[in-house]
Amino acid sequence: MGLNPQQFRKEVVRETLLAADMWSRAAENLICGTAYQESGLKWLRQLKNGPALGVYQMEPKTHDDIWKNYLKYRDGIGSLVHEFLADKPGKLEQLKTNLAYATIMCRIHYLRQPDPLPEADDIEGLAHYWKQFYNTESGKGTIPEFIHNYREFDKC
C-alpha cells in the first residue's frame, strides 16, 4: 500500500508547484509520472540497497549536483528551494521525509534540462523525456513501463 495517487497529485505535486510558481499541466504530469514510475508511490529508499531516495528515487549525486552546479548560481531559485526545507533532518534525508522538498527538487532537475517539456497530454513524450533526462539511457526503467505506470496510477 502506498500514497493515494490523486491526493499525491493534488495535495503534493500541484500545491508545491503552484507555491513555487513552477506549475504547468505538463510539469505536473511529468512529475507525477516520475513518482509513479520510480517508486510506485510507496518506496522511500531504492530496493536492493541502491542509493536513490524518496518517491522520486533521486540519487544523492544528482541531488548534490543540483545544489552545487545549478542552485548555487541562481540565488532566486536557490532561496525558493530553501523555503521548502525543514530545519532537520539534512537535505538528503528530506528527499524521503519531506514530499514538498522532494517534489521541488524533481522539478528543478527537469527545469535545468535544455529541451522544453512535451505537451501535457503526450504521455509517450513525457515518458521519453523522463527516460532521457531522469532515468537516462543506462537506467533500468523503460518507456513502456512509464506509460503503463502512468495510466495505471492516474486512473486511480
Question: Is the pLDDT score of 154 beyond 90?
Answer: no
- pLDDT tens-digit profile of 98-134? 999 999 999 999 999 999 999 999 999 999 999 999 9
pLDDT confidence of 136, banded at 50, 70, 90? Answer: confident
What grid cell was written down for 117? 517539456
Tell the burial category of 55 from Cβ atoms under 10 Å away from its Cβ (0-12, 13-18, 19+). buried
- pLDDT tens-digit profile of 62-105? 999 999 999 999 989 999 999 999 999 999 999 999 999 999 99
Q: Which residue type, as a one-letter code, is found at position 136?
A: T
Predicted structure pTM score? 0.95
Cα atoms found within 13 Å of the Cα of residue 151, Cβ hemisphere only: 9
CB–CB of 130/34 below 8 Å? yes
One-character DSSP codes across 79-102: HHHHHT--SSS-HHHHHHH-HHHH
What is the structure's pLDDT at 32? Answer: 98
Tracing cell 531522469 back to the chain, one arrives at 134
Average pLDDT, the chain: 95
pLDDT confidence of 156, banded at 50, 70, 90? Answer: low
What is the structure's pLDDT at 75? Answer: 84
